[in-house]
Amino acid sequence: MHPLRVPSPRGRRSAVALLAIATGLLVSSAVPPPSADASRGHPSATGRAPAGHPGSARGDARDRARPAAPWARSGGVLGSAHERAVYAHRGASGYRPEHTEGAYELAIAQGADVIEPDLVLTKDGVLVDRHENEISGTTDVASRPQFAARRTTKAIDGVPVTGWFTEDFTLAELRTLRAKERLPELRPANVAFDGRWRVPTLQEVVDLARRASARTGRTIALAPEIKHSTYFHGIGQDPERALVRLLRRNGLDHRRAPVIVQSFEVGNLRWLHRHSRVRTVQLLDAAGGPFDAPERTYAQLATPAGLREIARYADAVSPNTGLVIPRDAAGRSQAPTSFVRDAHRAGLPVVVWTFRRENAFLPLERRAGTDPATPGDLAGYLRQVLDLGVDALFTDNPDVGRAAVRAFEEEHRGRGPADGRPGRGTGDERPGRGTR
């Protein structure tokens, strides 16, 4: 059975995908958003959970006292020899403003297995869904005169950024804003949806996925990404603890939950490994390194030794496309690297980011003409990467991703893994993870 889908009424069988979730589905009423956790402290700085934190005995007892909202009773494997997962990158962000209800609903309708909320915090400690804590590019805040005085410049991960920041707004204030298209020059059709949706909380995205799972008969999984963890800890906020509390209130802090948490940083994933049972994925860019580990580069983490290190605290790895198929100075694809094979040898499923249909994002040989906004051969590019044996794909265009995966699986049905790797065991059998 496909771990991201429950059986259809006709009993059609779906194969397994990266997240290994669902053999059944129970749906409950929505759970109200949690209040902010008052306890603070950077997760990478301490191995002991403070009293009242979800990782402490007292925190566990407090959260167990609340009735959990049942969602998916799940099973299966993490990583697969069959049907790859389609991750909707910020929703169907190629067709709707990113991180909105409309983007997520369309992604689900287009066949996405997983939807991705990015997590930042409000002034009153609520997790909300924006790609960055600076929100002038994705909301209409700049047009609101009542907030003009809040425009400021801050150093975010060492880079000066000017604009309006979520941590300077309460949730109630943020609710007055409306989302807009981030890339209007490349996606002018999306501008028609500006102003239609507000900024969602993470709880609202959880509830959306729960409702969609009930409606579609598939378990729609979540891949929340914690943004700028070190920065938020530096201003006295704690995204990891807020996330764990929310997961526990929703009955989702366990190894078979339809959730996998992402981060470009390392310390917060190590902390989650110690204090939570949620699965995690280490994000790797093609350049630079984790902000909280300046002595390391992503290139070092992408080596066989680095991937074995990642396998000790994370359940999967998510590389930039450039780590899998590099490009030359002109933008042409070069020979594939050994990244996928090396990650699989370390026991790590691979979910590659990010695939977009516009020429601006495609390798030179996949472009159609010279207009950056013109759609090129995304389907061919996806097939090229699927042939390398990757387990999942992040895409702004889930319809193209689903069609590419479906065609690939039909061609390879009965042949086993494209890269010859064995199937994987359950999430609790992962190397270095044990049954903790």
Average pLDDT over residues 121-134: 98
Alpha-carbon distance of 352 to 360, in angstroms, equals: 18
Comparing CA positions, the residue from 27, 19, 250 lying closest to residue 113 is 19
Structure token digits, residue 54: 């979800």
pLDDT at 420: 41
Mind listing the pLDDT tens digit for each residue in 238-275?
999 999 999 999 999 999 999 999 999 999 999 999 99
Phi, psi (rounded to 5 degrees) for 153: -120, 130
pLDDT at 346: 96
pLDDT at 377: 98
Is the pTM higher than 0.75? yes
pLDDT at 146: 98
pLDDT at 413: 77
Within 144-238, residue ranges assigned H as helices are 171-174, 202-216, 229-234
Cα 65–Cα 278–Cα 342 angle in degrees, nearest 5: 170
Mind listing the pLDDT tens digit for each residue in 190-243?
999 999 999 999 999 999 999 999 999 988 999 999 999 999 999 999 999 999
The owner of tokens 């997760």 is 43
Structure token digits, residue 289: 């390194």
**CATH match of 24-135+170-429 with 3.40.430.10:** no
Q: What sign does the CA torsion over 319, 324, 325, 327 have?
A: positive
pLDDT at 82: 55
Alpha-carbon distance of 196 to 178, in angstroms, equals: 7
Alpha-carbon distance of 35 to 242, in angstroms, equals: 9
Average pLDDT over residues 381-391: 96
pLDDT at 124: 98
What is the pLDDT confidence band of residue 412, given thresholds at 50, 70 and 90? confident
Maximum Cα–Cα distance across the chain = 62
Alpha-carbon distance of 111 to 204, in angstroms, equals: 20
Is pLDDT at 11 greater than 50 in this prediction?
no
